[in-house]
């Protein structure tokens, strides 16, 4: 089981070193820390398994503000998150672009956590499966069921809102994704210590992509311990 901490635009190098100095992952689970770019080196030097929050599809070039897979590997980074809903919504990333990022990272030897998920409007209109099918099939075409690819299902309506998919909703979405692409699927969407065990205990849920609750050592440790208790 994989538990990934997505720190978004929080924690500079000093805070990263402090957090990792106090965090101890329980046995039986894999933990990835996804800090902002400025803190990647600090996290890697502290001995964490580190994933970047994005990666470009080209190895180099005139792409201001982007970072290549080769650069990440040189820092000791193990993988990258691609297609997070905030990247799609705020920065206009497309299914095609996300798939290209995933393929470039995989080909460079990185692991990938590729995010998919529907908005509340799409769910309520009955289009959840259609949206997931489009997003997942783009990844399936570009990468396939690669051993270093993990999908994260993040219902957009449950990110940073305090709302969480019910365990049954999460299980159904994960099962649907796995019918399209046979890879591990993490749940992401307001995972907290008080709901982690129930969510992670569902069939087809292979871990979690944790946002806000990963910023405090105590809450992230509690989520990891919940995962370890199920392993």
**H/E stretch holding 31:** strand 30-34
Give the DSSP letter string of 30-57: EEEEE--GGGHHHHHHTT--BEES---S
In angstroms, the CA 190 to CA 19 distance is 20
In angstroms, the CA 113 to CA 83 distance is 9
Burial tier of 20 (Cβ tally within 10 Å: 0-12, 13-18, 19+): buried
Q: Is-contact 230 27, C-beta < 8 A?
A: no
Neighbours of 119 (CB within 10 A): 16
Nearest to 164 by CA among 172, 155, 173: 155
Q: Is 154 a catalytic residue?
A: yes
Q: Which of 86, 93, 118, 154 is catalytic?
A: 154
Nearest to 57 by CA among 82, 35, 74: 82
Q: Is 107 a catalytic residue?
A: no
Strands 111-116 and 51-52: unpaired
Q: Which of 84, 93, 118, 174 is catalytic?
A: 84
Q: How many residues comprise the chain?
A: 231
For residue 119, the 8-state DSSP code is -
Any idea which residues carry the catalytic annotation? 84, 154
């Amino acid at each position: 089981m994989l538990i990934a901490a997505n720190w978004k635009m929080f924690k500079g190098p000093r805070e990263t070193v402090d957090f990792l100095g106090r965090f101890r992952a329980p046995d039986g689970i894999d933990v990835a820390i996804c800090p902002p770019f400025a803190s990647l080196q600090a996290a890697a030097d502290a001995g964490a398994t580190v994933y970047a929050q994005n990666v470009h599809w080209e190895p180099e070039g005139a792409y201001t503000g982007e970072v290549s897979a080769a650069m990440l590997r040189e820092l000791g980074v193990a993988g990258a998150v691609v297609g997070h809903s905030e990247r799609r919504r705020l920065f206009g990333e497309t299914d095609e672009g996300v798939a290209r990022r995933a393929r470039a990272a995989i080909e460079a030897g990185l692991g990938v956590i590729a995010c998919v998920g529907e908005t509340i409007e799409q769910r309520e209109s009955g289009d959840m499966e259609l949206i997931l099918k489009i997003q997942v099939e783009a990844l399936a075409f570009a990468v396939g069921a690669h051993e270093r690819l993990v999908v994260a299902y993040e219902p957009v309506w449950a990110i940073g809102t305090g709302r969480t998919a019910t365990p049954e909703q999460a299980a159904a979405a994960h099962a649907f994704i796995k019918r399209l692409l046979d890879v591990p699927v993490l749940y992401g969407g307001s995972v907290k210590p008080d709901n982690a065990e129930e969510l992670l205990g569902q069939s087809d849920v292979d871990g979690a992509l944790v946002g806000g609750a990963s910023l405090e050592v105590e809450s992230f440790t509690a989520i990891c311990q919940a995962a370890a208790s199920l392993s």
